[in-house]
Amino acid sequence: MVLDEIAAVWINYNLTERTIEHLWIFSIALIAAIIVGVLIGLLIYRRRRYAPPVFSSLNAIETFPDIALLVLLIPLVGIGTVPTIIACVLYSILPIARNTYTGLISVSPELLEVGRAMGLSERFILLKVRFPLAFPMIAGGIRIAIVFTMGIVTLGGIFGAGGLGAPLQTGINLIRPDIIFVAGIWVGILAVILDGIAGGIEASLKRRFGSW
């Protein structure tokens, strides 16, 4: 029975614990990426002239092969969860920061004109007008970051970070189709679900905050 085989792999390779571990690393990495990404987007918004150099460096990091980036981190922080999280954040800053920045600066000029004409302060306009209107954009950036993060957390499994990448590595090394299928399809489903949820949130933010 297929179900028995799945159950056997699931139990023998502790996939429940692995999944929890995986999602735990994922969540920490994503939250860190959101905080750092939004902050960088905001800082660049305040100091526009830093936008080109910051974005081109982030862009360069983005082109690095993920494994090469993990290798570069070994001399600095070794292997395991920490470098995995750092790599996730490094890759995810660009989409989040870029979308935050774009969202903040692309508020339509007449809204800003009216806001100023009403006597709203710049600070108020930033927090209560620009930010909410940038939400759909920021959510779009986070959605991209979710895909990146999911991919790198899985990859982290071969650099000692645990999670669902670890059983996949075992499966490949032992050439064990059962492990590969169960762990591979499971992590694929998780990724698609998370992406789907993010897509749903993004769409509803667009409906709620999007311009007409």
Quote the CA–CA distance of 142 and 195 in Å, as a whole number: 10
Question: Binding pattern to other proteins, positions 161-180, x when CB under 8 A?
Answer: ----x--xx-xx--x-x--x
Q: How many CB atoms lie within 10 A of CB 179?
A: 22
Give the position of tokens 């169960």.
182
Contact 132, 211 (CB under 8 A): no
Rule CB under 8 A: which of 43-72 touch other proteins? 59-60, 63-68, 71-72
Can you state the angle between helices 131-156 and 177-209, rounded to 10 degrees? 170
CB 137 within 8 A of CB 10: no
x/- contact string, 68-87, with other proteins (CB under 8 A)?
x--xx-xx------------
* Nearer of residues 47 and 211 to other proteins, judged by Cβ: 211
Residues at the contact surface with other proteins, assessed by CB under 8 A: 59-60, 63-68, 71-72, 74-75, 108, 110-111, 113-121, 124, 129, 132-133, 147, 150-151, 153-155, 157-159, 165, 168-169, 171-172, 175, 177, 180-181, 183-185, 187-188, 191-192, 194-195, 208-212
